[in-house]
Amino acid sequence: MLKTRLYFLLLPVLIFYSSCTVTGPQINLYGPAMYSSDISYQPKPMSSDSVHHANYASLSYFSLDAPNNNNNFDIVTVGQFNIGQGYTFDNFNLSYAAFGGMGGYSHQTNNDLSQSTHFSSKYFGDLGGRFSANAFVTSGRVDIRFIGFEVAYSHEFGDYANFRSQVNGQPDYFTDARTDLVTIGGSTEVIWHSSERPLQFGLRLFIGRTLGDNTYRNPGTPATVYYQQNDIGSLAYFMQLKKVFFVGELHSFGGELRAGLRF
């Protein structure tokens, strides 16, 4: 009799547990490694600087979450080298830069080792260029940069890009196999210097989107489509001490830290 009562007490627990653990096939979404994060802050001289043309070289570290809800524990990490130039004219400035980096896509969401396509990490590299321009007005020690325009082009290569092509069309795999991204958008920035001018500080907001078909698809099930986030943004903090500068930037799915030299 006691055993029968125990079975009835345990039955609701077993039903609840089974309902939580039986989830059906794992849907896997894989897209470009640097999606939403290829735009990055571009330094430019202030109107109060004695020299209105400068070169900038820096190293960046990115840590990003996968830009979807199905693989949201996957992590992208990348180190990047940036080199560019900035120009400031009367009430207008611009900058352009080239970059290249190496990183890895770490698979931490679905740890089913029985899947033939399971992996723990795959490397990737990226190359590209960025352009930024603003109109601005000056008030005291502050440049207010408005009507800003930014664009970035990046090309991805490596194991992770090859993997997306290989699983494209397999059951339960939905991919964005693109290796070329173009992201455009608008920005606004406030930058100021200290009273003695060795220190500069800036805050920049960017809102834009990556052009093209930002969806995850499977050719075998064309009626099912998963969407990446279309509108993306970033908030950057800039600090320069004489010839050394630092950037901290929050992207839609992660963050970036950068240190560099102005020369």
The rounded radius of gyration (Å) of the Cα atoms in the chain is 24
Q: Which residues of 32-66 are buried (b: 16+ CB within 10 A; e: fewer)?
A: bbbbbbbbbbbbbbbbbbeebebebebebebbbbb
pTM for the full predicted model: 0.85
Instruction: State yes or no: pLDDT of 55 exceeds 70.
Output: yes
- CA 133 to chain centroid, in Å, comes to 21
Tell me the CATH architecture of domain 43-107+117-262: Beta Barrel (2.40)
91 phi-psi bin (left φ>0, alpha ψ -120 to 50, beta other): left
Share of the chain above pLDDT 70, in %: 87
For 223-232, what is the mean pLDDT? 89
Residues with Cβ within 8 Å of 45's Cβ and at least 6 positions away in sequence, in order, are 51, 52, 53, 54, 86, 87, 88, 93
- The mean pLDDT of the chain is 88
What are the boundaries of each domain within the chain? Answer: 43-107+117-262
Q: List, for residues 165-224, the tens digit of each pLDDT value.
A: 999 989 889 999 999 999 999 999 999 999 887 899 999 999 999 999 999 999 989 999
Which helix (H) or strand (E) element contains residue 253? none
Which helix (H) or strand (E) element contains residue 5? helix 2-21
pLDDT of residue 25: 63
- Of 4-18, 48-62, 130-144, 209-223, least confident by mean pLDDT is 4-18
pLDDT of residue 153: 98
